[in-house]
Amino acid sequence: MELQVEQIVTWMEKTNEKIQDNKEYLTSLDQAIGDGDHGINMARGFKEVVQKVSGSDYESASDILKDVAMTLMGKVGGAAGPLYGTAFLKLSASVKGKKSIDCGSFVTGLEEALAGMKQRGKSEQGEKTLIDTWAPVTEEMKKAEDFDASLLFETAKTAMEKTKDIKATKGRAAYLGERSIGHLDPGSVSSYYLFTSLAETIRGGE
Amino acid sequence: MKKIINNPEEVVQDMLKGLIAAHPNSLKQIPNTTVIVRKGAPVPNKVGIVSGGGSGHEPAHAGYLGEGMLDAAVCGEMFTSPTPDQVFEAIKAVDSGSGVFLVIKNYTGDVMNFEMAAELAEAEGISVEKVVVNDDVAVEDSSFTTGRRGIAGTVFVHKIAGAKAAAGGSLQEVKDVAEKVVANVRSMGMALTPCTVPAAGKPSFTLDEDEMEIGIGIHGEPGIERKKLTSADEVAEELTQKVLDDIKFNSGDEVAVMINGMGSTPEMELYILNGKVQEILHERGLTIHKTFVGEYMTSLEMAGCSVTLLKLDKETKQLLDSDSNAPAFHS
């Protein structure tokens, strides 16, 4: 299968629903180890994304992804804004001009998004950040022959849950050191919503 | 949550409206942004100074706009760093052609958003330099972590970098002196009560009646250690000692002291604390050049304080003493 513009819209709508529904949960996760604004910021950003892309007429998948990137960058703020913004900008650039995206191109896009986020956040896997969801998802997707909803669900969920045991060394949670252990990383949880929304979108199209 | 607000999602816009209304002759808001610029900016032939960060730290940062201090403040959402487009607007608004200097507090989001804005500005041919303030001794500083936070000591960077720019310093000279301040300023904070971010609606952590949190930042986040509340003298000892342990102070060194309230600590308590801090510094043989007691970098209605020491030399002393009409900077 290939991701069409309409499916990217659906992906964003589903992500937005999950983020709005879990706004307080994300905020409570962030209150435990950060400053408690992750749910609020992500909800503001994705609400704007949906307003921007729903009902718009996009020629190509790369155009809509670029608008998602610019909206997130301009509306989220904090660390999540530049990181999610960078991810979608890289994803968009790697499929530049493409009307729709096949699995191979999407995986290349994910790899570039991951590299972009690592560079922007000066962060690596294992530091209790959203990279800890993005990296395993990218790794598993590379092995898949086509978009695989179950694989996405499973990988994102396991990865997100694993962040509970990590001691934070990047981001604001790092200031808590050992006290960050036992808490999920809010950025990994919002990334989990993003990937499970993609899985649901794919499942809808299967 | 009990607060004088309208809609939790509009607190920043509502605040800016009131802020401009209070200072119509000295401040202006760039339309459709959260950027506050001092009137008269860009000042011809002067390096523009931009700072900012999340809102909720008032009077930081807009209170430090004025001659000899900042030219623009970028006000993010509550405790959330502003976005790159907003910072970029601020840079454009204060560039006279002499370049723009960014004062950034060391928080992941602030660093990323300001760096992206600097990249956007450089792409348009504006020279940009920056300093990242990391004065908080509470947190570990290693190459494997985010590093130390920027807290109340940032205000000294605003003042001294701002004064250097006002005196005609080049972009590189402003950067050099700002780095000198960062290398010589250290802070440590504590809290008695947490604060409530309006959109979250409940306190960021809970503290029992007899507890205090040591080593807090300025975003209502927990500190590094929770303890039984002790006397003001013991709190002063603990905070000051941690600062003194971190940087080499020699007998005879001149320092500036800042006793900063976090938002809802009575001035009385800050002065009580200051009394002991000064005693400790005298015992160490340090000369106190100037003392600042009050609210400079707050955390909404958090009760608590931070102690900042800045080791001065001839240049930084003179720049600290030079005039500024920024409404919130006074000793």
B107 has pLDDT over 60: yes
Distance CA B29, CA B145 (A): 36
Q: What is the pLDDT of residue B143?
A: 61
Q: Given B108, B113, B200, which is nearest A170 (Cβ)? A: B108
Q: Which residues of A touch B199 (CB under 8 A)?
A: 27, 37, 40
Residues B150 and B44 in one domain: yes
**B176 and B190 part of one domain:** no
Local structure of residue B291 (DSSP, 8 states): E
Query: Do B155 and B217 reside in the same domain of the chain?
Result: no
The number of distinct structural domains making up chain B is 2
For residue B83, the chain A residues in CB contact (below 8 A) are: 73-77, 81
Of B84, B107, B199, the CB nearest to A172: B107
Closest among A120, A122, A135, A30 to B147, alpha carbons compared: A122
Domain holding B117: CATH number? 3.40.50.10440
Whether B102 maps to a domain, the answer reads yes
Which range of residues forms the domain containing residue B193?
Answer: 185-321
Contacts of B79 in chain A (CB under 8 A): 35-37
- Under the banding of pLDDT at 50, 70 and 90, the label for residue A139 is very high
Q: Per-residue DSSP letters for chain A?
A: -EE-HHHHHHHHHHHHHHHHHTHHHHHHHHHHHS-S-HHHHHHHHHHHHHHHHTT---S-HHHHHHHHHHHHHHHT-TTHHHHHHHHHHHHHHHTTT-SSEEHHHHHHHHHHHHHHHHHHHT--TTSSSTHHHHHHHHHHHHH-SS--HHHHHHHHHHHHHHGGGPPP-SSGGGGGGGGGTTS--HHHHHHHHHHHHHHHHHHHH-
Co-location of B93 and B215 in the same domain: no
Mean pLDDT to the nearest integer, B37-60: 97
Query: Is the per-residue pLDDT at A206 higher than 70?
Result: no
Which residues of B fall within a CB distance of 8 Å from A75?
A: 83
Residues from A in contact with B at Cβ < 8 Å: 27, 31, 34-37, 40-41, 44, 73-83, 120-121, 169-172, 174-177, 179
* Average pLDDT for B269-292: 98
Same-domain check for residues B175 and B215: no
Beta carbons of A177 and B224 less than 8 Å apart: yes
- Is B330 within a domain? no
Region A119-137: what's the mean pLDDT?
Answer: 95
Q: What percent of chain A has pLDDT over 70?
A: 99
User: By CA distance, what is B221's nearest residue in A?
Assistant: A35
Which of A37, A81, A82 is closest, CB to CB, to B79? A37
- Tell me whether residues A31 and B204 touch, CB distance under 8 A: yes
Residues A192-203 have a mean pLDDT of 97
Final residue of a structural domain among B160, B183, B206: B183
Do B195 and B143 lie in one domain? The reply is no
Say yes or no: B17 and B68 in one domain. yes
- CB contact (8 A) between residue A35 and residue B84: no
- How many CB atoms sit inside 10 A of residue A154's CB? 13
Residue B38 lies in a domain: yes
Q: Is B219 on the interface with A (CB under 8 A)?
A: yes
> Is B80 inside any structural domain?
yes
- Chain A residue with the nearest C-alpha to that of B10: A44
Q: What pLDDT sits at residue B315?
A: 98
Best B9, B108, B149, B225 member to test A by mutation, with max A CBs in 10 Å, is B108
One domain, residues B210 and B150 = no
| CB spacing of A41 vs B80 below 8 angstroms | yes
Q: What is the pLDDT of residue B220?
A: 78
- Domain shared by B43 and B104, yes or no: yes
Which residue shows structure tokens 């004064």? B163
Give me chain B's average pLDDT, please.
Answer: 95
Active site residues of B: 57, 219
Q: Which of A36, A78, A179 sits opposite B81 (nearest CB)?
A: A78
Whether the predicted pLDDT of B202 surpasses 90: no
Whether pLDDT at B286 is above 70:
yes
Question: Residue B113: which of A40, A81, A172 has the nearest Cβ?
Answer: A81
A52-63: per-residue pLDDT in tens? Answer: 999 889 999 999
Number of A:B CB contacts under 8 A? 110
Query: Rounded CA gap, A108 and A91, in Å?
Result: 8
Q: pLDDT tens, B68-99?
A: 999 999 999 999 999 999 999 999 999 999 99
The pLDDT assigned to A15 comes to 98
Summarize pLDDT for A166-197 with one digit per residue, the tens.
999 888 788 788 888 999 999 999 999 999 99
Q: What pLDDT is attached to residue B261?
A: 98
Residue B329 lies in a domain: no
Q: B139 in contact with A at a CB cutoff of 8 Å?
A: yes
| pLDDT of res. B313 | 98
SS3 label, residue B258? strand
The average pLDDT across A12-24 equals: 97
Q: Name the residue in chain A with its Cα closest to that of B140.
A: A175
The answer to whether residue B1 sits within a structural domain is no
Angle at B249 between CA B247 and CA B251, to 5 degrees: 170
A56 residue type, one letter: S
A119 to chain B nearest CA, in Å? 10
In 3D space, the residue among A187, A37, A173 whose CA is nearest the CA of residue B197 turns out to be A37
Specify if B328 maps to a domain: no
Model confidence at A123, pLDDT cuts 50, 70, 90, reads very high
- Report ipTM (2 d.p.): 0.88
Say whether both B148 and B32 belong to one domain.
yes
Clarify whether residues B158 and B223 are in a common domain. no
pLDDT above 80 for B331: no
Domain of B287: which CATH number?
A: 3.30.1180.20
Mean of pLDDT values over B18-36:
96
Domains and CATH numbers, chain A: 5-205 (1.25.40.340)
pLDDT attached to residue A176:
80
Question: H or E segment at B108?
Answer: helix B108-123
CA pair distance A71, A69, nearest whole angstrom: 6
Q: What number is the average pLDDT over the span B102-111? A: 95
Has this prediction a pTM greater than 0.90?
Answer: yes
Residue-wise pLDDT tens digits, A72-108: 999 999 999 999 999 999 999 999 999 999 999 999 9
Read off the pLDDT of residues B292-304 as tens digits, 9 standing for 90 and up: 999 999 999 999 9
Last residue of a domain, which of B183, B204, B228?
Answer: B183
Q: Is B289 within a domain?
A: yes
Strand order in the sheet with B128-133: B27-29, B35-38, B72-78, B48-55, B100-105, B128-133
Please compute the mean of the pLDDT values over residues B14-38 and round it to a whole number.
97
pLDDT of residue B147: 85
pLDDT band, residue B205 (cuts 50/70/90) = confident
Which residues from chain A sit within 8 angstroms of residue B140, using beta carbons?
A: 177
Report d(CA B87, CA B59) in Å as an integer.
19
Of B183, B213, B241, the residue at which a domain comes to its end is: B183
Do B143 and B208 fall within a single domain? no
Q: Mark yes or no for CB contact A175/B139 under 8 Å.
A: yes
The pLDDT value recorded for residue A205 is 64
